[in-house]
Every structure is written in C-alpha cells, then in structure tokens.
Amino acid sequence: MGTLSHEAERVMIERFGKDTVIALATAVDGVPYVRSVNAYYENGAFYVITHVHSNKMQHIRRNPTVAVSGEWFTAHGKGVDLGYFGKEENRTVAERLKTVFAGWIDNGHADLDDENTIILRIELTDGLLLSHGTRYEF
C-alpha cells in the first residue's frame, strides 16, 4: 500500500476505526458483486467477520482483488482469509473485533464457536480519501 500521511491515517481511524458499514465489491469472471459489511479499520486494513462459505469468500478465493468504499473514501485491496475466528493466531484481532462489534456480535448473526466463522482482512493497496476539501491519495 502507498503510505498514508499522519493526517490521512487520523481521518481513517476517526471514520472507520470503529464498527462501521462499508461497501465491499468482488468480481468473478468479469461480473462485479457488491454488498455492505460491518468492518473495522486498523493499520492499512479493514477486518470483517464472515462465514467461510459466503459468496464473498467464494469470490475472494477465486480473485482476491476487491474494492471498498465508505464515507468519502474508496480503495482497492486484497482479501485475505485469516481463518477461524477462534484460532490462537487470531486471538489478538478477535478480541479487538469482539469489543468493536459488541453491539451485535452476540445477537445470533455470527456463531464465534463455529469453525466456519472466519476473519477477512482487506489489505488496502491504493485509494482516495476526501476530508474537508483535502484529497489524500495512497
């Protein structure tokens, strides 16, 4: 990823460093698909809790290049399946996501004990962020 300036990173954290809804686009065989997902931003990546057999993950396995958009922000990235939410290697990020998504994580939508519940990391590669007349590209 290109480097975000200190100010751009501050804006990203302010806007997306909490439970936020973003659009996630995938493409398979030249056909685009887009859906809204709950996401959390940290250190150049968005994190999403999802099911390993969801359409988005089937698409990402075939083509990991994705696009995302949110409040005055659009970017490309690479979707990476971090695996089961509860595996030891995911402990740190899983605990953070439990806190960030506390408003809905226990409502039955996601079964964190199901080994098919995974963490998707979207590693940003390039993008455009607009904030109060300032344009940040990376």
User: Which residues have C-beta within 8 Å of that of residue 23, sequence separation ≥ 6?
Assistant: 34, 35, 36, 37, 68, 69, 70
Per-residue pLDDT tens listing for the chain (138 residues): 667 899 999 999 999 999 999 999 999 999 999 999 999 999 999 999 999 999 999 999 999 999 999 999 999 999 999 999 999 999 999 999 999 999 999 888 889 999 999 999 999 999 999 999 999 999
Transcribe the chain into DSSP letters: -PPPPHHHHHHHHHHHSSSEEEEEEEEETTEEEEEEEEEEEETTEEEEEEETTSHHHHHHHH--EEEEEETTEEEEEEEEEEEETTSGGGHHHHHHHHHHTTTTTTSSS--TTSTTEEEEEEEEEEEEEEETTEEEE-
| CATH number given to 6-133 | 2.30.110.10
